[in-house]
Amino acid sequence: MDFQDKRARTLSTDSTSTVSYVSLCLAGIPGKYSGGINESGRPHGSGSFVRDEGGMRYVGSWKDGERFGSGEYYDGNGRFLGNVVWD
């Protein structure tokens, strides 16, 4: 995962903080992540990733910067596309 912009507002200061958003590339796809982050600044806990192009959105669990556990996908119009489970 490539973090392009580490400037994000921290909303809490415990070991798993929350950011309003951070720009990143996920599997080569640019977008914005909002949700929990770990001490290294990587997505961790509950969060969402919205692609810059087309607005497709993933909402679900993250672990150390990777999608992990269960999540849901939505298209750019907010229509539910399906559930996914990551190992």
pLDDT at residue 17, as a whole number? 80
**What are residue 2's DSSP bridge partners?**
25
Alpha-carbon distance of 17 to 30, in angstroms, equals 22
Burial 16-54 (b: 16+ CB within 10 A, else e): ebbbebbbbebeeeebbbbbbbbeeebbbeebbbbeeee
Q: How far is CA 23 from CA 1, 8, 20, in A?
A: 11, 9, 11
Range of the domain at 43: 2-86
Domains identified in the chain, total number: 1
Q: pLDDT tens digits, residue range 6-57? A: 434 444 444 568 888 889 898 899 999 999 999 888 999 999 999 999 999 9
Q: Comparing 32 with 87, which gets the higher pLDDT? A: 32
